[in-house]
Amino acid sequence: MRAHLSNATYGVLDYAAYPIGMLMVAPIVLRHLGVAQYGVWAVATAAVSTGSIIASGFGDANIQHVATQRNAGDPEALLRTVRSAMGIHLVLGAALTILLCLLAPYVARHVGSSDLRVQAACLWSMRIAGLLTLVRAIESVCISTQRAFERYGAAVRVSVLARLLALVAAAALAWVNFGVVSILAATALLSAIGLWFQLGHLKTLLRSGSLAPSFDRMATRALFAFGIFSWLQAVSGVIFSQTDRLITGISLGATTVAAYALCVQMAQPIYGFAASGLHFLFPYLAQQRTTASTGALRRTVLIAFLANVALVALGTAALLFFGNRVLRLWGGDVIAHSSAHILAPIVWSSALLGLNVTGTYAMLALGRVRAVTWLNLGGGVVMLLLIMWLLPHYGGYGVAMARLCYGPITLLLYIPLAKLLRSGSDAQLRAAEAGSIGDAATAGISYSERQLAITSVWAAKQEGHTL
């Protein structure tokens, strides 16, 4: 229990440290750099965030496979999985780096308008953002592997320290009148140093002298079988999280979208704290699924769900009671008035989405990534269709109500989860897995191939096929 509480604490720290640091540093940077340079910094930071999410989309697949392999007694197979994940993320990171560098002149012309100095700053900032995306993609392999070993503290300490030092460097450089390019260059340097330490810790953990990327056929195949769906979730999440604001801004103007965006930003921690605090459930269940009984898994999921409900209820109650006051302090009376009727549905939408955290991690750990992906995609599509229908009639309130429909659709994942955890299903599953292992061993094939056979049996079992 102490280890789980420690992992939960580090998960929340990883989620909260950087945004809180940004809130503290932003006024200093804005005051000393000016609005234009601050805008360039914001655009580059958003590019790094978006690129990193897309380039790191196979991290969940790495967690699931490494956590499952921990009990298998074959460290070489585990190492091949990590090195294959490193290869996949290196390719994705490099592709995003090239894309950001190609887009840099276009972004610079639009952000800098007619100011050539701002254009030059934006051009170099976007190029550095591309390099940062590559660093974050590789770092995600280190972090996801350590999380698969349930070592959240080791993963988070280096990552959080590097990013907080980058914010300190940003404030210091802005204070002495260095520009945004210098700030991003310092961020890239500190991130690279943090990555070097992460790689060192990972080598020690895996007892390996090399983490050079590779593409082991079986390991890469297994990672893609799971990871393509988690990557699709990452990409769709980026799209769905921005499209509602884009449509609102184009249709209703700056004041309405500012109020809407502030409400969304305020409500996000309801989901964020639950997701980060309970993330340890993912590797824990992935490791336990082949050894624990159905009853033990069911109890674990139930306890996690009760904690999930408590976290969501606490955050929801706080925002419903104090949200309008906070908005008035943030944006003044105009923003508070514009958001008065949309805050409640946005808060409830985040609450409903937050309730799916336990189910999502349990389904991912048990290999049901497809169900999670399709439900999330379905929820996003329904939300966008409702926005297009409700916005002309109800304005910002209609957009907020459309957002409210996303969460209940994702909560449907508890139906297949309940079927997975019903009495007796674990015995049938492990019997099929044991048969696959025995047949593979008799045939004399490699451990990776046996793992792929197990994965195939698992996937087929969950989809209801006859083996």
CA angle 91, 11, 22 (to 5 degrees): 80
pLDDT at 366: 83
> How far is residue 361's CA from residue 301's CA, in Å, rounded to a whole number?
9
pLDDT at 452: 38
CA separation (Å) from 355 to 57, 316, 410?
Answer: 22, 11, 9
* First and final C-alpha spacing in the chain: 38
Of the listed ranges 130-144, 296-310, 320-334, 374-388, the least confidently predicted one is 320-334
pLDDT at 3: 60
Cα dihedral: 260, 265, 271, 272 (round 10) = 160
Whether 441 has a pLDDT exceeding 50, the answer reads no
At position 330, the amino acid (one-letter code) is W
pLDDT in tens, 217-272: 888 888 888 788 878 877 877 777 766 765 766 576 655 666 777 788 788 888 88
For residue 209, what are the contacts with CB-CB under 8 A and spacing of at least 6? 203
CA angle 317, 319, 325 (to 5 degrees): 130
pTM of the model: 0.69
Mean pLDDT of 61-71: 80
Structural tokens at position 116: 């050539």
347 near 320, Cβ under 8 Å? yes
Mean pLDDT of 268-283: 84
pLDDT at 324: 81
pLDDT in tens, 136-151: 999 999 988 888 887 7
Whether 451 has a pLDDT exceeding 70, the answer reads no
Task: Identify which has the larger pLDDT, 29 or 199.
Answer: 199
pLDDT in tens, 168-178: 998 899 898 88
151 near 113, Cβ under 8 Å? no
For residue 333, what are the contacts with CB-CB under 8 A and spacing of at least 6? none
pLDDT at 448: 37
Task: Identify which has the larger pLDDT, 49 or 454.
Answer: 49
Across 351-368, b (16+ Cβ under 10 Å) vs e yields: bbbbbbbbbbbbbbbbbb
Mean pLDDT of the chain: 79
Whether 289 has a pLDDT exceeding 80, the answer reads no
CA–chain centroid gap for 216, Å, is: 26
Nearest alpha-carbon partner for 43 in 99, 118, 135, 97: 118
pLDDT in tens, 393-417: 888 888 889 888 888 999 999 999 9
Question: What percent of the chain is modeled with pLDDT above 90?
Answer: 20
